[in-house]
Structure 1
């Protein structure tokens, strides 16, 4: 299950804060800030998708993520590679290195990362 753009933006805030009350979440948005009802709707949808939960303190709810940022983005990237590059990491790597205008240094850094991963396998 994935998040809408608006849900993902809110999730980014929650990942950064780790746990937060509604007012903290709204405060973290850039201007113009969304209405509390909008944020409440997003949180409810994200809760239904099992991305967030909350602890009740009197009338206030402290929200926290149920999904780790790394896990979510790993799943998104793998889905992207599967859908757009026929599940081929090498097709994705070829496209990425050619189409993103990486500098020689950035390509060398990527090569080091790949070489380290090969050593660790």
Structure 2
């Protein structure tokens, strides 16, 4: 699966949040300074070619819609990230972030609690 550039990701996040729409709908949701309509149109052409979005004709324009769910993209992106930077080991990734001084004790406790909940859910009954 292709990854998204920062510009593509921003456009996709907006499209995901509105669950499809016209280019002008997407442009209107950007923060200032807003990109030009033609810039977003170009990004959408690329996203369509990459298979991230589809379009349907409405009068003399197109409505665009996501072909992949945000959660699915995030999962695939994170798997790829872990594979590239942490030798395909989630444990190495968590360990790297755990030794980072910016991760608070509260964050670590929350992670432990989250993992304990996941372990309980996965245990056979």
Same fold (TM over 0.5): yes
3-state SS of the aligned residue for 1:99? coil
Q: Aligned equivalents of 1:84 and 1:60: distance in 2?
A: 42
Q: Aligned equivalents of 2:97 and 2:70: distance in 1?
A: 22
Tell me, which stretches of 5 or more residues in structure 1 are unaligned? none
Tell me, which stretches of 5 or more residues in structure 2 are unaligned? none
In the alignment, what sits opposite 1:87? 88
Aligned residues between the structures: 121
TM-score by length of 1: 0.94
User: Residues 20-57 of structure 1: CA distance to partner in whole angstroms, max 9, x if unpaired?
Assistant: 11111110111111111111110011001110011211
User: Residues 30-89 of structure 1: CA distance to partner in whole angstroms, max 9, x if unpaired?
Assistant: 111111111111001100111001121111211111111111111111111111111111
Q: Aligned equivalents of 1:2 and 1:91: distance in 2?
A: 22
In the alignment, what sits opposite 2:112? 111
Deviating beyond 4 angstroms after TM superposition, the runs of 4 or more aligned structure 1 residues are none
3-state SS of the aligned residue for 1:62? strand
In the alignment, what sits opposite 1:66? 67
Q: Aligned equivalents of 1:2 and 1:114: distance in 2?
A: 28
Q: Aligned equivalents of 1:96 and 1:14: distance in 2?
A: 31
